[in-house]
Amino acid sequence: MKESTFLNIINPVKDKMYRLALRLLTSREAAEDATQEVILKLWNRKNRIKHYANVEAFAMTVTRNYCLDQLKSKQNNNLRIVHQNYESSNSSLQTEIEVNDEIQWLSRIIAGLPEQQKMIFQLRDIEQYDFEEIAEIMEMKQTAIRVALSRARKAIREQLIKKHNYGIR
């Protein structure tokens, strides 16, 4: 496989790989490094890539596994999961503060979810993957993914309602 063919396959997936790595590793530098390492791994397997039915799901699986390995290693022991939001420059200061506060709350709530639910929530609601793709990436059945996603959404909803209703009665 030529370099240009490989890049045509990987370039559409590269941003999603980076966002998943950023979600798992928190640090932008660590996410960039992880994305580069995964692309290098995929390049080393370039002859086998064309045999995969869904290259994107394979790339996301490799990214997820690489990031989880990094989280397990001792050198990255202090990393935590945080959600970064893309902000609009046209908002008022008050709106910006409110959005940042809401994002921080949401990040704390998501950080409190079980690891599997965090991953499924990230892949479905943030990355917008289909259930079939998530099943392939997570190596789970679609029904189990739907249940875990439902539980994650319910936990997030309950925590947000609890936060917003605090002191109202």
| Confidence (pTM) | 0.51
5-53 pLDDT tens trace: 888 888 889 999 999 888 888 788 889 999 999 999 988 888 887 788 8
Per-residue confidence (pLDDT) for residue 85, from 0 to 100: 44
Residue listed under structure tokens 């993957």: 129
Asked whether 50 and 1 are in contact (CB, 8 A), the reply is: yes
Q: What are phi and psi of 32, to 5 degrees?
A: -65, -45
Instruction: Round to whole Å and give the CA distance between 75 and 79.
Output: 9
**1: number of Cβ within 10 Å:** 13
Instruction: Round to whole Å and give the CA distance between 112 and 115.
Output: 9
Report all structural domains of the chain as residue ranges with CATH numbers, in order of start: 1-81 (1.10.1740.10), 89-169 (1.10.10.10)
